[in-house]
A and B are shown apart, each in its own frame.
Chain A
Amino acid sequence: MKKPTTTKVAEALAVIAVVGLAAIPLALLASRSLAQSWYWPRLAPPSWSLRAWRYVFSPTAEVLPSLAASLSVALAVTLSAVIVALPASRALAWQEFRGKRAVIFALLAPVLTPPLAATMGVHSLFLRYGLTDTWVGVALSHLISTVPYATLMLTGSFSRLDPDYEAQARTLGAKAIDVWRNVTFPAIAPGLAVAASFAFLISWSQYLTTLLVGGGRVRTLPLTLVAFQRGGDEAIAAALSLVFLAPAAAVAFSVARFLKENQ
C-alpha cells in the first residue's frame, strides 16, 4: 500500500523528535563540560578545556568514591530486589489464593504514592537500630521502591509462561535446578532483564532517600552532583552529570539490545 504524504511527514517529525530528545541533552552537557570562559553573550565558547574533567577525576573532587558507593548500592539493591521479587511474582502469576488482590494492592501502593512519607518513617525506625548513616540502611531504603516494580514486571513475564512447562520437565525427571536453568530462566530472561534494569535505574537515581537515610554520610553520585550543581560551577556539574548518566544509559542500552536479540 502506498503511504500518504502526511504519514511520511509525521514519521519524519517523530524521528527528528526522538533523535533530538536523545542527542540534545548529551550535546549540551558535553559542550558545557568542555567549554572555557563561555560567558554571556557568547553563542559559542571562545576555547575548550579539559579542566572540569580533570577536576572530576582528581582525588579532591571525591567523585570516584561516590561512583563506587552508587554502584555498590545499586548493584546490591538490584540483586536483592530481583531475588525477593522472583518467588513472589511466580506465586502471583500462577497461583490463586485468598487475599491475592490485597497483595497486588500492597505492591501497587508504593509505586503510586510518594515514597517520601514511608522514607521518613523508615528514617526513625533505622535511627532506633543504628542503620542511619550506613550503607546497609541506604540499600534497604532503596528496596521500598524497587521491590514493587520488580515484582509487578516479573509477574507479567511469569503469566505469559505456561506453568505446565515446568511440570512437564519435572515429569521427565529434571531436577529443580535443571528446570530453572533450562525451562523457567530462558522463558523469563527478557522480563528479568527489564526488571533488573528498572531496579538499577531507580536505585541509581535516588537522591532524597539517600540523603535522609544516609544522613549525607553515604555519598552516592547524586548527592555529589547536587553539591556541584548548587555550588555553581556549571562545567564541573555538566561533566559530573555525564559521569552520572553513563552507567544508567549503558544498562538501559544493553537491556534493550538483549530484548531485541531475544525476540
Chain B
Amino acid sequence: MLAPALVVIGVLFAGGLALAGAQSLGYFAPTGENALTLRHYVSLGDDPEVYASLWLTLKLATASTVISAAAGLALALGLRGVARRSRAISLLLQLPLSLPHLAMAGALITVIAPSGLLARVAYALGFIQQPADFPALINDRFGAGIVLSYVLKEAPFVALMTLALLARLGDEYEQAARTLGASAWQRFRHVTLPLLAPAVVSSSLMVFAFIFGAFETPFILGRPFPAMLSVMAQQRYLDVNLAARPGAIALMVVSALLTAALAWAYLRLTSRLIGLERPFIL
C-alpha cells in the first residue's frame, strides 16, 4: 500500500538529494571530478556572497513569516463571525491563494515600481518630482517588495487554516471564560490564542520553509546581489562554466539542511511554549 508513495519519495526525493550530495562532495562526472572532497563546501565558507545571501534569506523569510502569521491570525479572528454566516468569504480567501507567485509579483510591480501607481500618486500630490525620487520598493536593499508579495499571498493561507480550526472549535470555551468574568484581553491571551496556536504554528512553519527555499518572487522582485539562496544557487547552477555547478548544488544542500534544522527547532520551541509533550505538525 505504501510502496508507490515510498518509491516516488525514495527515488525522486531521497535519491535526488543523495545524488545532489554526491555531486557536491566531489563526484561530478561532467568535469571529471571523481574523488571525495569537501572543497566545494570549504569554498562556500570562504565566499562573502554566501554569507550575504544566507543573512538576507533568513531575514526576509523570518519577516515575511511573522507578518503573515500575525496578519493571518488577525484576519481569521475578524472574519470568524462573517465566515459562519457567509460562504463567499472563504471563496474570496481562495483567490490570493491560487494567484501564482509570478502573477502576484507582476501585479505588485504595477503599484510599487519607481514609475508605478504609488509613485504617480506621490507625484500628483507633489511629494516627488521624478520616478527616481520614489523610495525603491522593488530590487531594493531591504527586500520590501519580496516581503510584501509574500505577506499578500501567505496571510490568507494562515487565515484559512485558522478559520478551519475555529469552525471546528466553536466558541464555547470563550463563552465559558466570559461567564467566569475574563476580560476581552484575558480571553484572547489565555483561551483563544492557545486554542488557535496549532493552526498558526503549523501554517507559519509551512510558510517559512516555503519562503526559505522559494525562487520566483525574489527572482522577479529582488536584486541579483545579494540574492536569496535559491536565486544565487540557480545563477551558479546555470552558469556557462560547468565547474560552478557542484558549488551551486552544495549551496542548496546547505539550504535544505538548514531549513530542516530550523523547522525542527521551531517545532521544539513552539510545542514547549504551548505545553505539548511532542512536537506536532498538520
Contacts and interface: CB of A to CB of B under 8 A. Distances in A.
Contacts of A29: 103, 106-107, 110
Nearest to B159: A18
A205 B13 contact: no
Given A7-B81, A124-B23, A256-B90, A201 B4 contact: no
A176 interface: no
A69 interface: no
B152 interface: yes
Given A40-B120, A116-B213, A207-B102, A110 B249 contact: no
A116 to B, nearest CB: 5
A22 B205 CA distance: 24
B274 interface: no
A108 B220 contact: no
A234 interface: yes
Contacts, number: 265
Contact of B5 (A84, A111, A257): A84
Interface in A206-263: 207-208, 212, 222, 225-226, 229, 234, 237-238, 241-242, 244-245, 248-249, 251-253, 256-257, 260
B93 A18 contact: yes
Range of interface residues on chain B? 35 or more
Interface in A21-48: 21-22, 24-26, 28-29, 32, 40-43
Contacts of A84: 4-5, 8
B17 A121 contact: yes
B213 A115 contact: yes
Contact of A121 (B8, B16, B98, B213): B16
Contact of B75 (A17, A148, A234): A17
Nearest to A30: B107
Interface in A82-126: 83-85, 87-88, 90-92, 95, 103, 106-122, 124-125
Contacts of B15: 121-122, 125
B19 A14 contact: no
Q: Count chain B CB atoms within 10 A of each CB in A18, A148, A152 and give the residue with the most.
A: A18
Contacts of B123: 40-41
B8 A21 contact: no
Nearest to B115: A40
A204 interface: yes
Interface string B182-221: 0000000000000000000000011001001111100110
The 3 closest A-B pairs by CB, nearest first: A114-B213, A14-B78, A121-B19
Interface of B: 1-2, 4-6, 8-10, 12-21, 23, 74-75, 77-79, 81-82, 87, 89-111, 115, 117, 119-121, 123-124, 131, 152, 155-156, 205-206, 209, 212-216, 219-220, 229-230, 233-234, 237, 248-249, 252-253, 255-256, 259-260, 263, 281-282
Given A84-B4, A87-B5, A245-B103, 17 more contacts: A22-B95, A84-B8, A87-B1, A87-B4, A106-B9, A112-B205, A113-B213, A113-B259, A117-B255, A120-B252, A121-B19, A121-B249, A124-B20, A148-B13, A226-B102, A241-B100, A245-B98
